[in-house]
């Protein structure tokens, strides 16, 4: 989903819209500042209504979420690469030829990534190993 689609859909979703409005409303609250107007308060935004901020807040949310998940995915990919290398090295240390070890590890990780961490087969295998230890 691109940013424009997100901004449009986020503005239409009641829960996200409420969250975005809460943020926009907080930007309209008055706060004390040095050159304050009467009453010692200066509004952060002097324009009438804060609806114009919803798309800006939506875009900021989109960028943060995208960056967060991109960073998380990069860390996950780095960890997976480290695990694959360690497993290949373990298999080679047990006498498996390097090329065969790489092929097996690639096939294994491809299936694991397709299934996901909460897959019942993987959970059963982990449970079996846990009982054996």
Give the count of alpha carbons within 13 A of 14, CB side only: 0
In this predicted structure, what is the pLDDT of residue 30?
Answer: 56
Cβ–Cβ under 8 Å, residues 40 and 32: yes
What number is the average pLDDT over the span 74-92? 92
* pLDDT reported for residue 35: 47
What would the mean pLDDT of 40-65 be, rounded to a whole number?
74
Instruction: Please state the pTM of the whole predicted model.
Output: 0.52
How does DSSP classify residue 31? E
What pLDDT sits at residue 49? 56
Q: Where are the alpha helices (DSSP H) in the chain?
A: 3-12, 14-28, 53-93, 98-115, 120-132
Counted residue by residue, the chain has a size of 133
With contact defined as beta carbons under 8 Å apart, do 104 and 91 qualify?
yes
Average pLDDT over residues 32-37: 51
What is the structure's pLDDT at 41?
Answer: 46
What is the predicted pLDDT for the residue at 72?
A: 84
């Amino acid at each position: 989903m691109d940013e424009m689609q997100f901004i449009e859909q986020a503005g239409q979703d009641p829960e996200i819209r409420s969250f975005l409005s809460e943020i926009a409303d907080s930007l309209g609250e008055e706060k004390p500042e040095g050159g304050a107007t009467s009453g010692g308060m200066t509004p952060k935004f002097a324009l009438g209504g804060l609806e114009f901020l919803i798309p800006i807040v939506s875009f900021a949310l989109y960028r943060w979420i995208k960056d967060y998940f991109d960073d998380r995915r990069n860390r996950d990919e780095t960890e997976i690469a480290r695990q694959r290398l360690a497993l290949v090295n373990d298999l080679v240390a047990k006498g498996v030829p390097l090329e065969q070890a790489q092929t097996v590890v690639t096939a294994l990780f491809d299936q694991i990534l397709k299934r996901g961490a909460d897959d019942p087969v993987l959970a059963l295998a982990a449970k079996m190993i846990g009982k054996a230890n």
